[in-house]
Amino acid sequence: MSDEPASFLEPAARVEPSSERIVTLGKIVGTFGVHGWMKVHSFTDPPENIFEYDNWRILRGGQWSSVQVEDGRVTAKGVLVKLVGIQTPEDARLYSGIEIGVARSEMPPPAPGEYYWSDLEGLEVRGNDGQVLGKVDHFRTTPGGDVVVVRGEREHWIPFVKDRILEVDLQAGFIVLDWAADW
């Protein structure tokens, strides 16, 4: 483990309950035009990185299924995608609100000292005094910066910045943050 605090690559993502974990990379938020294009809210940074993944999965009815991207681009209107088989605005409208994901195994490994937020969800969180604060529930991006939401005896919204991150041990399943239980 490096003495350097960890940095992080992407917003929070939900995990599929099966053995092949799916990481959510975005959400279809509406239609665009008359040929079945859709607007996407990309959670990747920068937003166009969502197109670096070939094997998109969508979450419908609680199940992940594969889709093929026919075309995609970033415009002044945002991230736009055309999925194979979707030809009309009416077809595209059926996908509004649906999450887009990829298998975690298809994502590139993070650089040393960096972690995907989805890899940290569920880990035990300890304060700098060793006291268990709870478990990482999820992450939020707020106007003031990113926060980790920790749920235990009480809920903590902790700024997720380098100065607060003291240790991350994925193998042992815990994170140590510069935070106290009574804060």
- DSSP secondary structure string for all residues of 54-111: SSEEEEETTEEEEE-EEEEEEETTEEEEEETT--SHHHHHTTTT-EEEEEGGGSPPPP
Q: Which amino acid is at 144?
A: G
**Alpha-carbon distance 109 to 104, whole Å?**
10
Domains defined along the chain, listed by start: 22-106 (2.40.30.60), 114-177 (2.30.30.240)
pLDDT for residue 50 is more than 90:
yes
Higher-confidence position of 17 and 179 = 179
| Residue 98 near residue 38, CB atoms below 8 Å | no
Mind listing the pLDDT tens digit for each residue in 123-148?
999 999 999 999 999 998 888 888 99
The amino acid sitting at 43 is F
> What DSSP element (H or E) covers 121?
none
Q: What is the mean pLDDT of the chain?
A: 87
3-state secondary structure of 34: coil
Q: Has residue 169 got a pLDDT over 60?
A: yes
Contacts (Cβ under 8 Å, ≥6 apart) of 28? 38, 39, 40, 58, 81, 95, 96, 97, 98, 99, 100
The reply to whether the predicted model has a pTM over 0.85 is no
Residue 8 is predicted with a pLDDT of 37
Tokens of 102: 């990829």
Bin 145: left if φ > 0, else alpha if -120 < ψ < 50, else beta: left
Identify the H or E element spanning 119. Answer: helix 117-120
Which region, left, alpha or beta, applies to residue 34 given φ > 0 means left and ψ of -120 to 50 means alpha?
Answer: alpha
Rounded average pLDDT over 95-118: 90
